[in-house]
Amino acid sequence: MKLLVTGGAGFIGSNFVRRALNDELPGVEGAEIVVLDSLTYSGVRENLDPIADSPRFTFIEGDIRDAALLDEIFPTIDGVVHFAAESHVDRSVRDAAIFVETNVLGTQRLLDAALTHGTKRFVHVSTDEVYGSIEEGEWTEEFPLEPNSPYSASKAGSDLLVRAYHRTHGLNASITRCSNNYGPYHFPEKLIPLFVTNLMDDQHVPLYGTGENVRDWLHVDDHCRGIALVFANGRAGEVYNIGGGTQLTNVEITEKILELMGKDDSYVDHVEDRKGHDLRYCVDISKIENELGYEPQVPFERGLAEVVQWYRDNRAWWEPLKERAALEAQK
């Protein structure tokens, strides 16, 4: 089996590729992997260095919107795991256009290619943010889509296209919607790696608003195992929520990070809240648990401590990315 992994140089996609090629993901063992990634600011070729010599691995630098390129690739592959996206909410608040182009148009181009070339299986990686914000309880997959940011609206658009290609054309496609991922190789603009790396350099951390926003935290290893289970055994046309089972306010996660870094809350700067900041996300994961035998395996305290250690050990990975992002922000 040959899998096309779009966005495979990003945070989650590269975890999927490294672990698939090490045969650590159930259902895709032995698969050959073709990564298609245009290496935007968050695509890091070095994320794939650990498996670069695998005879089962090919890297193609290219854009998911490039229909001619897709027509060359798709006849050679059996299935798709689609991660490629613009993924940072704050960036979508500043400039939404690229989010629509990549997340909506790019997904549609991939779906067209899959249809034209008879691709056997398509898994679209989405987000719980498409449901909006929930004050209490948990979202099942049946909840309506009420996205609040340009990022989540563009992901909801792509989800609906995947659904439509299944309903209209019978494409064998499923959708996953996960909560907030954390783990190694996480681009240092996101909360956990930003806070950890700031504190490593004795800098303050910016906490949005009151910090009461609640997120469910999912280790990237657990997420990728869930995606592999959906790829192998998920039902066509179905959505599967994937979560980690650890709900924390941003204040609580900040306190945990401060403690692990040996710092106190004098390092926290309360900054103006993100526009339209969703208060609470919480997914019901009983469908994937009952149907596919998924359960989160990485306890949050252990996962977070390992991530902190990873950033301590890998300054050469994150420092240039952070410097580049800072330069870009000054433009």
Is residue 129 part of the annotated active site? The answer reads yes
> What kind and span of H or E run contains 315?
helix 315-330
What count of other Cβ atoms lies within 10 Å of the Cβ of residue 50? 13
Residue 4 and residue 79 in contact, taking contact as beta carbons nearer than 8 Å: yes
- Of 35-94, which residues contact ligand NAD (CB under 6 A)? 36-40, 42-43, 63-65, 83-85, 87
Smallest CA-to-CA distance from 268 within 329, 195, 186 is with 195
| Contact with ligand NAD (CB under 6 A) among 3, 4, 5, 12 | 12
Write down the catalytic residue from 151, 165, 182, 267.
151
Residue 7 touches ligand NAD, criterion: CB under 6 A: yes
Instruction: State the minimum distance, in angstroms, from the CB of residue 39 to ligand NAD.
Output: 5
Residue 46 and residue 16 in contact, taking contact as beta carbons nearer than 8 Å: no
Residue 85 or 263: the one with the smaller Cβ distance to ligand NAD is 85
Q: Are β-strands 79-82 and 121-127 bridged in parallel, bridged antiparallel, or unpaired?
A: parallel
Sheet with 121-127: strands ordered across: 57-61, 32-37, 2-6, 79-82, 121-127, 173-178, 239-242
Question: Which residue's Cβ lies closest to ligand NAD?
Answer: 10
Question: What is the token pair recorded at 77?
Answer: 């592959």
Question: What is the token pair recorded at 176?
Answer: 């996953």
Is residue 151 part of the annotated active site? The answer reads yes
Is residue 272 part of the annotated active site? The answer reads no
What is the spatial distance between Cα 192 and Cα 182, in angstroms, rounded to a whole number? 7
| Contact with ligand NAD (CB under 6 A) among 17, 48, 77, 125 | 125
- Of 159-198, which residues contact ligand NAD (CB under 6 A)? 178, 180-181, 187
Instruction: State the minimum distance, in angstroms, from the CB of residue 155 to ligand NAD.
Output: 5
Contacts with ligand NAD by CB under 6 A lie at 6-7, 9-13, 36-40, 42-43, 63-65, 83-85, 87, 102, 106, 125, 127, 155, 178, 180-181, 187
Residues assigned a catalytic role: 128-129, 151
